[in-house]
Structures are given as structure tokens and as C-alpha cells.
Chains A and B, each alone.
Chain A
Amino acid sequence: MRKKAKFNWSIWLIFLFFIIVSFVMLLPLYYLILGSFRNSKDLFRFGMDLVIRPELMSLDNYKYILFGDGKIYLHWYKNSVLITFLFTISSLFFSAMVGYALGVYNFKGKNFVFVLVLFVMMIPLEILMLPLYRLTVRFKIINTYSGVILPFMVSPLAIFFFRQYASGLGKDFMAAGRIDGCTEFGLYFKIMVPLMKPAFGAMTILLAMQSWNSFVWPLIVLRTNQKFTLPIGLSSLMTPYGNNYDMLIAGAVLAIIPIVIVFLFNQRSFIAGLSAGGIKG
């Protein structure tokens, strides 16, 4: 009896510990949301405590970016949505193909190609910024969606993930498809792609998040305000004097809302997708 009572006691302590941890983890987001309803000039000058004070709160910041002079924000939002959509679709299409071929076929040079994929994963892409920038200028895709999307469209991480997944699929399906007279490409699109659906789910989330939050490369390629994505646009508002904080804070809140909503409905595949890098060998 005594032992059991002691046991529950420690579980309660752990529970309490995580309540405090949760509070700390949610605090920055709570602070951000609270700040988005406050007058930004006062906020910057006087700071803010954690208390909800309805008398100081208003929807002015949101009205400003949605209907007022801050309308450029909607441009950024549109750019982010389109780039994320186009990037995710094209990256899934091409990366899945490559991963599938590496997973199910035996062909000359297969191991060499796979080593190249791993090699690209191990190089910090920041060292390629400068030549890639010059390349986009030469190809005349600087300051365009294509300039943001094309260089990183074929994703080594997604190839790796699809390869692991495809190599675990039974070869019987392929044999059966061939007997039914499928071409190798019909086989892939009609039979194998549907079988890889869970892998597509996890990678959709990984790639879409990567694109939605991507920062360094778009910062270099996108040169004009009209073409900015959300992270680039918001970062352009981060001035030391806080004169744009009305747009910045409310804009930051609106930028995370779609992701949090999708996350709440697909937590399992989200966690699988975002930690996909962890599934090695």
C-alpha cells in the first residue's frame, strides 16, 4: 500500500512539471497573440504584462493589414501560399520518382546515385548561395517564383524517405502489374503511387512546412516588396524603432494560424513528417 501511494506522488510531480513546461513553451505564442491586439506604439514603448486587458485591446492591427494601408501583407500571403503549393506539388512529383527508382529497381550506377543523394544532404546549402544567386540572374529567374522553387525542388531528404518506403513494398504488386500489361510508368503511377500514400502524406507536410517557413534563400532571390513571401516581408518590418510593429505582430500571428490548424488535425503525420530526418538506415 505504502509503495503505491509513493508512486502516485512522483507521477503527480511529473504532471506538475509538465504543466509548468507547457506554460513556458506556450508563453511566447500567447505573448505574441496578446500583443497583436494592442496598440503597437505603446507596446514598444511601455512593454506588456501577461494580463488580458480588454480596455487596451482592439482589432485595429488586423483591420490595418487586411483592409487598410497594410494591404501589401496580403500580397505576401498570396506569394507564400502559391510558392508553398507549387513547391510542394513539384517536389513531391520529382522526389518520389527518384526515391522509388532507387528503392525498387536494380540498375547500373544505382549505388553511386544514392551516394550522391546522401552527399547533397550533408553539404550546408548556404555555401551555394552565391553561385546559385548568379545562376538565377543568368537564367533570368531572379525575383520570381521559379527562382525560389527550382534550385531546391528535387529534395534529397524526400528522395531518401521515398526510397526507404518504396524498398519496403512487396515486389509482387510489380510482377502482377507487369503480367497485366502495364508499362513501367503505368505501373508506377497506377499501382505504386497509391501504395506509397502514407509516404506522400508525411512528405507533403515536411515539404510544405519547409517552404512556408523558408527564409535564407527567398531572402536572396526575392528583391522587391511585391514578390516577398511572409517570412521575408515580416523580416523587412523588423526595424529597431518598432514603427511597423502593428503590421509585424498581427502579421506573424496570421502566418502561423494555417499551420497550427493543419497540425491539430494531423498531429500523427506531422510528427512523422517533421522528424523524418531521424529515420536513418
Chain B
Amino acid sequence: MPKGSLGIKSFLYSQTVAPYIFILPFLLSFLIFFLYPTINTVYMSFHEVYGMGNMNFIGLSNYQRLFNQNFYDAIRTNTLYTFFLIIILIPLAILFATLLNIKYLRGRNFFKSVLFIPALTSIIVAGVAFRLLFGESEAAFMNSILIRLGFPAQRWAFSHSTGMLLMVSLATWKMVGIYMVYFISGLQAIPEELYESAEIDGANSISKFTRITLPLLKPIVIYALTIIIFDGYRMFGESYVFWNEGMPGNIGLTIVRYIYQQAFQRNDMGFGSAIGIVLLTIVLTINLIQLRFFGAFKKEE
């Protein structure tokens, strides 16, 4: 034991006190920037909020107002967007990861880097690039291809289907590299011997993939699903970069944009909070169902 039993000294040497000092930043941040705001959101969702101070209790009125076409449109956008990302991003990332895991393939590190580079860009920079590619004029790149193939030029941001295409292709471009890295690390955890013994049993590449690779990638698939759903329902930037001012016919209106619009542009914080609570409920429910459905809560065998 150190000499001198001054309070401060025993304090500095105490193994009981130290961890509490270390976790203090988290506790403070949790109380001020998480717990208080969460309670505040719930509270505001039952109130009409005037300016910074005054509130008027109005019961469930804000929640009743949620039954309107705009909110349905927002939920629809997020749901379709999430659905398309799941069916495009996961297979594509598994395909890239599997092929780039072939040791004889030349330049595979180069390809990995190239696939990863879009993940470095901010949503705004990526959005500027995609706005250029999908420009409205006939000479903009995507339209020029359509015309060469004999189709008419599109005003991409002005219909629901092409609007969805804009958001999904932007998100796929930006994120496929990250999901590929998840799957590559999953593939590298599969022991080589499994494939060797399958080869002895006469398995071909395809049955090796479906019988060994895919089942063993399941935990990563579940992880990817969880993240895509989580990010899909809170999506904001992918819509903002294409429709930052007006959204004709609610094209690209998402739940978080609806919150932003109601709370900051219409100054209706109470209603905005109610939307936020619904968003929270949706995300938690879908993820719980999804985790239960895929058996992630079962004990590992």
C-alpha cells in the first residue's frame, strides 16, 4: 500500500472508485443528451407546443393526426426503400465477397478498395454526383444511354418509381462496399477443412456455396438485415439530396423528413414528437420480429 493515508491519495489508488470516475462521461451524456430528451419527446407528443416554453396538454390528439395521407406516404417510401435495399444490397454484397475471396483472382485488393471508396463520401457529395448522372437534360449520362437504347429521356425526380430508383441506387452505390467487408470477414471465419472434406465427398462449387457458405454466413446476414432496417426507416439524406426544396406528390417523403418538415418548417414540435415515437416503435418492432424469426435469440448450437 502507498504511504500517506490522505483522502485524495487513497482515492487515486482505489480500484473501487476508479471505474466510476471512468464511466462518468457516459453517465452524464446519457442523462443529459439521451434520457432527458427521450422523456421530453414522449411528453411533448401529448402536448401542443408553443415556442420554447409553453405547452398545452391535448391527450392523444397528435397521435390521431397521424392518420393522414402524408404520413402513409412517408411510411410507404421508407418501407419500399428498405425492402429494395434488402433484396439488392445483401445478395450483391455476398456475391462480391465470395468472388473476391478467391485467392487466385488477380487484383482483388484493388477491387476491394474500389468497391469501398464510395463509402467514404458524404451523402451530399454522393448526391451531387448522382444528380449530375441523372440530370434532366437529354445529354445527362443516364438519359443519353436511355436515348441510345431507344427509350425517352426521363425526369427522374418527378415520378415515384424513378424517384425510388434514385434513392436505392445511391444507397446501394454508397454502402455495398461496407456490407461486402462484413461478408468477407464472415467468409474468412469459415474453416478451410470444411470445404476440403466436401470436395472429397465430391461436392461442386455451387453445392459448396449453398450447403456450407450460406448457412455459415447466416449471423452476418441477420446483422446486415438489422442494420439495413434500422437505417432504412431513419433515412433522410438520400431523400434530401434529390428533393431538398419541394417534393411533388410526396415523392421521397420519409418519416424523418416528415418530422423535420412538421417540427422545423411548420414549428409543430408536439406532432413531430408523436411521429418520432411511432418511428421508434416501428424500428424496434420490426427488428424484434426479424430477430425472433431468424432465431437469433436461440442459444448458439
Contact = CB atoms under 8 A, between A and B. Distances in A.
Interface of A: 11, 14-15, 17-18, 21-22, 25-29, 31-32, 35, 43-50, 94-95, 97-98, 100-102, 105, 107, 110, 113, 116-117, 120, 122-124, 126-135, 137-138, 150-154, 159, 181, 183-185, 188, 209, 212-213, 215-216, 220, 230-231, 234-235, 238-240, 248-249, 252, 255-256, 259-260, 263, 267, 270-271, 274-275, 277-278, 280
B140 A263 contact: no
A249 B2 CA distance: 63
A216 B256 contact: yes
Interface in B223-241: 223, 227, 230, 233-234, 236-237, 240-241
B56 interface: no
Contact of A47 (B21, B111, B126, B137): B137
17 contacts: A46-B137, A47-B137, A47-B144, A49-B139, A94-B29, A105-B15, A116-B30, A124-B234, A131-B38, A135-B32, A154-B25, A209-B120, A215-B123, A216-B237, A234-B124, A259-B121, A278-B182
Interface in B165-203: 173, 177-178, 181-182, 185
Contacts of A21: 96, 111, 114-115
Contact of A15 (B107, B185, B279): B107
Contacts of B18: 101, 105, 184-185
B217 interface: no
B276 interface: yes
Nearest to B9: A183
A150 B13 CA distance: 30
A164 B80 CA distance: 36
B38 to A, nearest CB: 7
A98 B17 CA distance: 14
Given A14-B99, A48-B140, A275-B181, 13 more contacts: A18-B105, A28-B129, A35-B132, A124-B234, A126-B234, A154-B26, A184-B14, A231-B122, A256-B125, A259-B120, A274-B181, A278-B182, A278-B220
B36 A131 contact: yes
A27 to B, nearest CB: 7
Interchain residue pairs A-B with the least CB separation, the first 8:
A47-B139, A101-B22, A213-B122, A184-B18, A127-B276, A131-B37, A131-B40, A47-B140
Interface in B1-58: 2, 12-23, 25-30, 32-34, 36-38, 40-41, 44, 52
A234 to B, nearest CB: 5
B12 to A, nearest CB: 4
B133 interface: yes
Contacts of A45: 137
A102 B23 contact: yes
A249 B126 CA distance: 11
A39 B220 CA distance: 46
Contact-residue size bin, chain B (C-beta under 8 Å from the other chain): 35 or more
Chain A binding surface, main DSSP class:
helix
Given A11-B102, A25-B173, A110 B19 contact: yes
A256 B112 CA distance: 19
Contact of A249 (B15, B132, B237): B132
A259 to B, nearest CB: 5
A115 to B, nearest CB: 11
Contact of A124 (B20, B40, B233): B233
B123 A239 contact: no
B240 A235 contact: yes
Nearest to A185: B12
Interface string B254-297: 00100110011000010011001101100110010000000000
B111 A94 contact: no
Given A31-B133, A235-B240, A238-B131, A274 B119 contact: yes
B128 interface: yes
B119 to A, nearest CB: 6
A216 B211 CA distance: 43
B1 to A, nearest CB: 10
B283 A124 contact: yes
B122 A124 contact: no
A252 to B, nearest CB: 4
Given A14-B99, A48-B132, A120-B34, A130 B107 contact: no
A47 B135 contact: yes
Given A154-B25, A220-B264, A238-B131, A17 B99 contact: yes
A28 B130 contact: yes
